[in-house]
Amino acid sequence: MPQLNKRYNRTTMRILLIRMLFLLSGFTISFPLSAQHLLNIIREEVKIPMRDGVELGAIVYRPEEPGKYPTIVYRTPYGVDNYDTYAQIPIKAARRGYLVFMVDVRGRYRSEGEFEAYRNEKLDGYDVIEWVAQHPQSNGRVGTYGGSYPGIVQWLAMSQSPPHLEAAAPELTPIGSHHFMYYGGAFSHAWIDWFMPYILPDKMKRAQDPTGIWDASRATEAWEASDRQPWYDYRPMTEMPLLKQYAPEYYQWLTHPDSSAWWDFLNVEQDFKKIRNPALLLSGWYDAAYGPEGASRAFHKMKEETATIEARQDTRLILGPWNHTSLNSRKTRFGEVEFATNAGLDYDEELLDWFDEILRDKTDKSHLPPVSIFVMGENKWRAENEWPLQRAITTSFYLQGSGKESDGKLDRSLPPNEEPDQYLFDPNNPVWDKSYEKSYPYDQRTIESRKDVMVYTSQVLEQPMEVTGEIKVELFVSSTAADTDFSFTLCDVYPDGTSINLHGLDAGYLRMRYRNGQDKQEFMEPGEVYSITIGQAYTSNLFQAGHRIRIYVTSSMAPHYDPNPNTGRDIATETKLISAKNTIYHDRTRPSRVLLPVVPR
């Protein structure tokens, strides 16, 4: 910072000259040589007591200048010491005049107690927020932020209505268990990839267990370099040995597949009427499927169900072209698509400006509209006042032709009376998404060439068409099995044939036993035709003239979800996997279709 140093040198010279003049004239004057400056902040370490006596460890950043400041809380299971090595928000916030607490959740790193994923975050979140509000340098106005696990813990705290919480920024996160552990009724294998590198190292270190790696970074490298497929394929799932000692909750989740009161420790969908503070919500079209689903559902509930005018009016939603990742203004390429300069987002500044507006009453700071969406295809942001968009017209494209003979079609007209499409789904050979670690856009033609993937494509578009909102399919299906799965993916087909997925491949999934709700299991009668709706896939894309619209339908998406054994028995304890003949009907009386929210231009 050479310019700053020059300025300080000139200031020092002026002070010395003034002192000399006063001394020469017989007067004395005193100047503090280390005067208070906004760039001067202090780092401290504290313990925060919970109601049961357990103490949570935290790192604090605060302005050097005495005073009372609005307070920001970040709670994480990933280690505040690690976060403190790279995160810029705490320092930026302290220099803006915030008191910032970075807290290890119960049972992690600096904190006492036993860690059980999500189980204690409601009460602990309340206690942390109320304790920091009483800190001698807090003015009692508290905000929270964070994504993924640090995101959902904010919802869990909000469900308890802490009196001093005035703002929260949960990113990339769900609001309920069954858009998280189970999606469309299928169990998420991503939990193996979460526990192994991120949770087990600290647990093994606490136990002084020498059989594993204690450092999370090294554990992540080792896990990602290993052959993980045998663990994804392990049957019965309840006997998969990796997590038995240090993550028993994983097996509890497996044995509670239905949505029920057992999951209340993780659900907040019924608690929005108790929420008083506004929220800054963020997700991406390629985020884990629970991200855009959680942000969309949360935005609606914040606008319709919350307890205060402030919560309803000041909540903001940002949906961009990202996956499950941190953001900055230079991060614009995801997978095989470069979304150009507009896609970058200086999230730190947007977040702190929004906090300034809510926690410091600086109404001119945040320029965010109620909804900000990034329209792929033209790669531009657009301001909206609502989500979903009321002006979007639900437009039907009907499945026609043979989805497995390269002449499957999407057409606006009803299909003729024609033969259905049938394929063999073998759970021993599921569709595999190479972007499963962090979803991204890539050419889907390898997947589309499989015999168990049915592909339907529109004619070449003569005019651009914008599709923005939730994508749904209505399918008429049957199976030789008592239970099976169906999945769909929406793609933009370029003139050269490249077929790019417009959302993560883990979105748009349904386990048939949960077709009428995830609180009950209803099995199929082999050969009987069922009408099903699959949704929960979100996007915004401008299909350019010369492009085509495509969907493909299949019955698996590994390793995101456990492939359905097709037996109709309890999936977590099942050891036998059988193939199923699955059928998609598209004729006059059973017109399967994709429903696209088309935005007029």
Token duo for residue 578:
């059988």
Token duo for residue 524:
């199929």
* Domain limits for position 122: 41-179+263-384
| Predicted local distance difference test score (pLDDT) of residue 528 | 98
One domain for residues 270 and 310: yes
| Predicted local distance difference test score (pLDDT) of residue 43 | 97
* pLDDT tens digits along 206-259: 999 999 999 999 999 999 999 999 999 999 999 999 999 999 999 999 999 999
* pLDDT tens digits along 391-425: 999 999 999 999 887 789 999 999 999 999 999 99
Look-up: residue for tokens 């749904």? Answer: 472
Q: What is the DSSP string of 43-83?
A: EEEEEEE-TTS-EEEEEEEEESS-S-EEEEEEEESS-HHHH
Question: Is-contact 358 168, C-beta < 8 A?
Answer: no
One domain for residues 7 and 114: no
Which distant-in-sequence residues (6+ apart) come within 8 Å of 286 by Cβ? 321, 322, 323, 324, 334, 335, 438, 439, 440, 441, 503, 504
One domain for residues 195 and 303: no
One domain for residues 365 and 460: no
One domain for residues 165 and 192: no
Domain boundary residue among 384, 412, 432?
Answer: 384
Secondary structure (3-state) at 463? coil
| Predicted local distance difference test score (pLDDT) of residue 36 | 62
One domain for residues 524 and 590: yes
One domain for residues 85 and 100: yes
* pLDDT band of 102, cuts 50, 70, 90: very high
Q: Per-residue pLDDT averaged across 107-132, rounded?
A: 98
Number of domains the chain contains: 4
The set of long-range contacts for 517-521, using a CB threshold of 8 Å and a minimum separation of 24, is 517/259, 518/178, 518/182, 518/185, 518/258, 518/259, 519/258, 519/259, 519/260, 520/258, 521/257, 521/258
One domain for residues 270 and 236: no
One domain for residues 406 and 446: yes
One domain for residues 461 and 578: yes
Secondary structure (3-state) at 322? strand
For 203-265, give the secondary structure using H, E and C.
HHHHCCCCCCCCCHHHHHHHHHHCCCHHHHCCCCHHHCHHHCCCCHHHHHHHCCCCCCHHHHH
Domain boundary residue among 231, 256, 281?
Answer: 256
Q: Give 404 or 593, the one with higher predicted confidence.
A: 593
* pLDDT tens digits along 161-214: 999 999 999 999 999 998 899 999 999 999 999 999 999 999 999 999 999 999
Question: Is-contact 410 549, C-beta < 8 A?
Answer: yes
One domain for residues 477 and 374: no
* pLDDT band of 363, cuts 50, 70, 90: confident
One domain for residues 222 and 299: no
